């Protein structure tokens, strides 16, 4: 004999809208966590050589170099750090699309290179690159 239940029998339904909300929340959470971890993975590395560098045309460019003692060179001419910004502003007035290549010595302090980078950004230039040696030219095995 079968006993009838006082609770009405309903078929199960899967509600899709709350499921989509939860999936978007999880996706956003994982994206935020992964983006915050990128900045925390900083590690001391030897930057002057690299494999992903691209050869760029050096037509209409400015070269700023920082040596291991912290001296700044503007196209092979030694210049005081305070004189970099006025010179860049003068060039920016004539040619705002000029490219700037920053050359940091292997043993240059990071802060010295950042000071030069700050001067470049203050002058309004937006096209800048860091020069590196490719592995092939540095004689490192595995280079092209």
Q: What is the mean pLDDT of residues 98-102?
A: 83
Report the percentage of the chain scoring pLDDT > 90: 7
Domains and CATH numbers, the chain: 49-138 (3.30.420.270)
Mean pLDDT of 44-51: 45
Evaluate whether 76 touches 96 at the Cβ level (below 8 Å): no
85 by DSSP, 3-state: which?
helix
Residues in the chain: 144
- With beta carbons less than 8 A apart as the criterion, state whether 78 and 93 touch: no
Helix (H) or strand (E) holding 109: none
Residue 81 is predicted with a pLDDT of 84
What does the pLDDT read at residue 41?
Answer: 30
Q: How confident is the model at residue 23 (pLDDT cuts 50, 70, 90)?
A: very high
The mean predicted confidence, pLDDT, of the chain is 75
User: pLDDT of 51-96, one tens digit each?
Assistant: 555 555 555 678 888 888 888 888 778 888 888 889 888 888 888 8
Whether residue 144 contacts residue 53, with contact meaning beta carbons closer than 8 Å, is answered with no
């Amino acid at each position: 004999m079968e006993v009838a239940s006082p609770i009405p029998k309903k078929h199960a339904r899967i509600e899709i809208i709350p499921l989509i909300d939860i999936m978007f929340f999880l996706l956003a959470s994982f994206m935020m966590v992964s983006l915050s971890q990128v900045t925390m993975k900083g590690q001391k590395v030897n930057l002057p050589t690299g494999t992903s560098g691209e050869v760029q045309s050096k037509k209409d460019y400015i070269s700023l170099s920082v040596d291991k003692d912290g001296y700044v060179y503007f196209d092979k001419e030694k210049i005081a750090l305070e004189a970099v910004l006025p010179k860049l502003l003068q060039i920016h007035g004539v040619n705002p699309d000029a490219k700037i290549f920053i050359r940091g010595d292997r043993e240059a302090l990071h802060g010295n290179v950042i000071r030069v980078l700050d001067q470049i950004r203050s002058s309004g230039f937006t096209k800048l690159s860091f020069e590196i040696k490719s592995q092939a030219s540095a004689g490192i095995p595995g280079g092209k």
